[in-house]
């Protein structure tokens, strides 16, 4: 079920506030489906000051996700 509030997932890399080594910050999920098996889409914010893109990414990708705009990552998902 999709809700309105964003919450953390269960793993370390799905916690709100987690920042991966590519400087992509997790802002949580409201239960929207991702596009990989059994995955939720998480709201992510690129931390590069000239970018700051907000986009959606599968929970399983968060540890290595690249920004779609400034790092050549895959297109963002709905979140």
Q: Which is nearer to Zn ion, 30 or 69 (CB)?
A: 69
User: Shortest gap between Cβ of 48 and Zn ion (angstroms)?
Assistant: 5
Give whichever of 31 and 71 is closer to Zn ion, judged by the CB atom. Answer: 71
For residues 67 and 72, what is the distance between their CA atoms, to the nearest angstrom?
6
We find the least distance from the C-beta atom of residue 34 to Zn ion, in angstroms, to be: 19
- Is residue 69 near Zn ion by the rule CB under 5 A? yes
Decide if residue 19 touches Zn ion (CB under 5 A): no
- Reported in sequence order, the residue ranges of 1-79 that DSSP labels E, i.e. its strands, are 24-26, 41-46, 54-58
Tally of CA atoms within 13 A in the half-sphere of 4 that contains its CB: 0
Q: How many residues bind Zn ion (CB under 5 A)?
A: 7
Residue 30 CB partners (closer than 8 Å, separation 6+):
2, 3, 4, 5, 6, 7, 43, 79
Q: Which residues bind Zn ion (CB under 5 A)?
A: 46, 48, 51, 53, 67, 69-70
């Amino acid at each position: 079920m999709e809700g309105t509030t964003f919450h953390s997932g269960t793993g370390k890399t799905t916690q709100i506030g987690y920042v991966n080594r590519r400087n992509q910050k997790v802002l949580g999920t409201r239960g929207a489906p991702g596009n990989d098996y059994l995955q939720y889409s998480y709201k992510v914010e690129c931390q590069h000051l000239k970018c700051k893109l907000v986009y959606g990414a599968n929970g399983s990708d968060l540890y290595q996700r690249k920004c779609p705009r400034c790092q050549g990552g895959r297109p963002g998902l709905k979140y």
